[in-house]
Every structure is written in structure tokens, then in C-alpha cells.
Amino acid sequence: MLALAGYPLGLEFVFLDPAAEACASPLGAHLHADYLDQKALTTFVQQIDVATYEFENVPAPAADFVAARVPFRPAPQALTAGQDRFDEKQMFERLGIPVPRYRPVDSLPALELAAREIGVPAIVKTRRMGYDGKGQVRLRNFSDCASAWQSIGSPALILEAWVPFEREVSCLGVRALDGSVAFYPLVENVHRDGIIRTARPRQNDPLQAQAESYLLRVMKHLDYVGVLAFEFFVVDGQLLANEIAPRVHNSGHWTIEGAETSQFENHLRAVTGLNLGSTAQRGVSVMVNFIGDLPPLAELVNIDRLHLHVYGKTPKPLRKIGHATLTADSEPALDAALADFQQRFGAYL
Ligand code: AMP
């Protein structure tokens, strides 16, 4: 989606992706290699003017290698800031951004002690390499500690208080090379099994200004360039930080049709040193993810104002293999379109 947004700007792409079936490969040269493959990294930097990424678990040594040779944006410190959930939460606290109660845990006795201190229900997460609900186990009772420790299979964990949230929201901001910033409207996200199912931008959300101020603190702290996503829980009408993603984000896919400038174009503008484009909404919109399987194409194309994005990935349970954005001129019209869509294709969402 980054490359699709970049082509009209006249940009060309080289992709380094360890996946044989990299879905971006039809749009540029694909270097099929491990992120830490020095030969591939050398070829990569010889062919490009600027590097960026859309996967937050790129290993830090690969980022450092590239950053030493070509501009690498957002910078390696922005990439690594969100890679460890414990470090990330400490950074939020230092910046005065509220977080759920948490403890680092490195053994079963430490987990049991943390569960007593924090209380149950709670959630155990791996510090590293977790996304889309992977590497997470819910603790309903103290007696779940042993089975959680066994099942999660990593010694570097955090225990986090279970947050009885009213809503989950995210805010996407973009910061240019000259430090100017723009923010998209707050998005309300519905998750199931830790995966976003629908993402709907909200006009004039009362928490917009607060979310922007938290994003700005993180962006300045990391000297950030590009799109940054910040996910929050809403509790008692206040924002509690969940996590950041130093990249374009699933909760911003609606911007392709629903905003004046998509998150993808604005990310590319930022990392290539161009001015940012308007983040204003165009009408109202909602994005739905297709998880595991796709509804029949012949039926989807008959839906008025549905914009389809099929990723060309092999269908697999719990895998995001495409999305659609529904657009409308008013919130009631969008409510009706979404309800109708969910009734017909709920099994795929
Ligand atoms: P994460 O990968 O940390 O964003 O977690 C994925 C999803 O799991 C979140 O979007 C929430 O729906 C849920 N979740 C994660 N942490 C908590 C928590 N502390 N309390 C309640 N729900 C949570």
C-alpha cells in the first residue's frame, strides 16, 4: 500500500522481505533475504536513496546497518522504542502518559508475585515480538499463573492489569523532516482475538486533543519522521496508553479513500523530505478487515461505495488478507451500510 501510494508521486521501490510471497513484489524489485543477511543489505542500500519500514520487528542490527549508509526514517531509535513492551511503557511514564499498571516478569515466582500485586484479571504478554494478540495470555485467577507461564514459552514477559475499557481508539500522526506535524481524526477500533476487525474515524472526538498531545510528546522525544500510530484504551472517559507502532497502521487504512491524503502518501512525503498533505476527512468512512478468508469478489464489487483491497496473501486462519472501506455522506448512512455489510459478510470479519 506504501508502494501503491508512491507510484503516482514518481517514486520507485526496492523491497527487502524474508517472505517468498512478499505481496509488494509486483510493485518493485524484491530482495528475498533475511533481514540480517549482510550481502542482501549491502545490495539494498546500493539501490536506494532512503529507507523506511512497515514492520516493527525489523531487527535493530539490520536497521543500524542501513541507517549508517542511507537516511533511515523513522530512525532506529523509533523502531526499537516500541519493540520491548516494558521499555515502551517506561518511556510513556517518563513522558507523563498514563499506562495500565504493569510489572516485568522473568520467572514463575515473579509472575505469581506480580499477579498478587496487580490483581486479577490481568494479561501476560511477551515483551518482544508480539502483535495482533500473539504472545498474550489472559489470567482470570491466580491459579492460571502456572499454565500461562507454560503456554507463553518466553521468559521475558510483562504482566499488565486487565483494563475494563469503554472503547479502544487510535490516533495517527505524521511528522515531516522539518518538524511540522499533522494528525488524523481519532479512530474507534473493534478488536476480536487481539485483531482489529473494524476501524472507524470519529469527527470531533472529545479525546482528540489529548491523543494528539501524547503523540506529539512521543514524536518529539524520538525525533520522529513519518507516520506514528498510538493505540489507547478509553477508561472513565480518559486515555490510557496501550502501545505505539512506528509505521503506517491498520487503523489508518480508511485514509486511502476517507482522507484528503492517505497515511501511506503522508508517510512517503515525510520520509522523502516533502511537505505533508492535508489529513482532513472526505465524507465519513469505516474500514473492515477480512480475516482468514475473503467473501466472493463478484458479490463485493456490487456493493455501492465499497473500496476493496485484496493483499494477494494465502488465506490462513487469523491472517489479515484484505480490507474494504465503506464510505458515505453522513454517519446514519454509514451506520446502515455497515450493518448491512456485517449481516451479509459477518463470517469473514
Ligand atoms: P496488544 O497487542 O497489546 O495491542 O493487544 C491486542 C488487544 O488485546 C488489544 O487491542 C485489546 O483488545 C486487548 N488487550 C491488550 N491488553 C489489554 C489489557 N491490559 N486490558 C484489556 N484488553 C487488553
Question: What pLDDT was estimated at residue 199?
Answer: 98
2 pLDDT band, cuts 50/70/90, is very high
Secondary structure class of 205 (helix, strand, coil) = coil
pLDDT at 133 > cutoff 90: no
The response to whether residue 191 sits with its C-beta less than 6 Å from ligand 1 reads yes
The response to whether residue 133 sits with its C-beta less than 6 Å from ligand 1 reads yes
Average pLDDT, rounded, for the chain: 95
- The stretch 301-315 carries a mean pLDDT of 94
14-16 and 29-31 beta bridge pairing: parallel
Is residue 263 within 8 A of residue 252, CB to CB? The reply is yes
Residue 187 CB contacts under 8 Å (≥ 6 apart), including other chains: 169, 170, 171, 172, 199, 200, 201, 202, 251, 252, 254
Question: What pLDDT was estimated at residue 129?
Answer: 81
Q: Detail the DSSP E strand segments found in 52-205.
A: 102-105, 122-126, 136-139, 157-161, 167-175, 181-183, 187-192, 195-201
Question: What pLDDT was estimated at residue 188?
Answer: 98
Secondary structure class of 100 (helix, strand, coil) = coil
The response to whether residue 195 sits with its C-beta less than 6 Å from ligand 1 reads no
The response to whether residue 167 sits with its C-beta less than 6 Å from ligand 1 reads no
Q: Which fold has domain 2-81?
A: Rossmann fold (3.40.50)
| CA–centroid distance, residue 285 to ligand 1 (Å) | 24
- Distance, in Å, from the CA atom of 246 to the CA atom of 233, rounded to the nearest integer, reads 18
CATH 3.30.470.20 holds for 167-348: yes
**Per-residue model confidence as pLDDT tens digits over 204-243:** 999 999 999 999 999 999 999 999 999 999 999 999 999 9
- The stretch 10-39 carries a mean pLDDT of 95
Q: Residue 127: which of 163, 144, 146, 102 has the closest Cα? A: 102
| CA–centroid distance, residue 79 to ligand 1 (Å) | 20
Question: What pLDDT was estimated at residue 131?
Answer: 64
**Per-residue model confidence as pLDDT tens digits over 80-90:** 998 999 999 99
Q: What's the whole-model pTM score?
A: 0.95
- The stretch 164-177 carries a mean pLDDT of 98
The preferred substitution site among 136, 152, 235, 244 for testing ligand 1, maximizing ligand atoms within 8 Å of CB, is 136
Question: What pLDDT was estimated at residue 348?
Answer: 79
The response to whether residue 251 sits with its C-beta less than 6 Å from ligand 1 reads no
pLDDT at 154 > cutoff 90: no
| CA–centroid distance, residue 161 to ligand 1 (Å) | 10
Question: What pLDDT was estimated at residue 74?
Answer: 98
**Per-residue model confidence as pLDDT tens digits over 236-289:** 999 999 999 999 999 999 999 999 999 999 999 999 999 999 999 999 999 999
The preferred substitution site among 137, 162, 242 for testing ligand 1, maximizing ligand atoms within 8 Å of CB, is 242
**Per-residue model confidence as pLDDT tens digits over 92-113:** 999 999 999 999 999 999 999 9
Q: When comparing pLDDT for 312 and 337, which is higher? A: 337
Question: What pLDDT was estimated at residue 132?
Answer: 62
Q: Where are the domains of the chain?
A: 2-81, 101-161, 167-348
Question: What pLDDT was estimated at residue 349?
Answer: 80
| CA–centroid distance, residue 189 to ligand 1 (Å) | 12
Question: What pLDDT was estimated at residue 290?
Answer: 96
Secondary structure class of 268 (helix, strand, coil) = helix
**Per-residue model confidence as pLDDT tens digits over 41-97:** 999 999 999 999 999 889 999 999 999 999 999 999 999 998 999 999 999 999 999
| CA–centroid distance, residue 138 to ligand 1 (Å) | 10
| CA–centroid distance, residue 251 to ligand 1 (Å) | 15
- Distance, in Å, from the CA atom of 338 to the CA atom of 47, rounded to the nearest integer, reads 44
134 pLDDT band, cuts 50/70/90, is confident
Residue 137 CB contacts under 8 Å (≥ 6 apart), including other chains: 123, 124, 144, 148, 151, 152
- The stretch 129-135 carries a mean pLDDT of 71
Q: Give the largest CA-CA distance in the chain.
A: 58
135 pLDDT band, cuts 50/70/90, is confident
Question: What pLDDT was estimated at residue 346?
Answer: 86
CATH 3.40.50.880 holds for 101-161: no
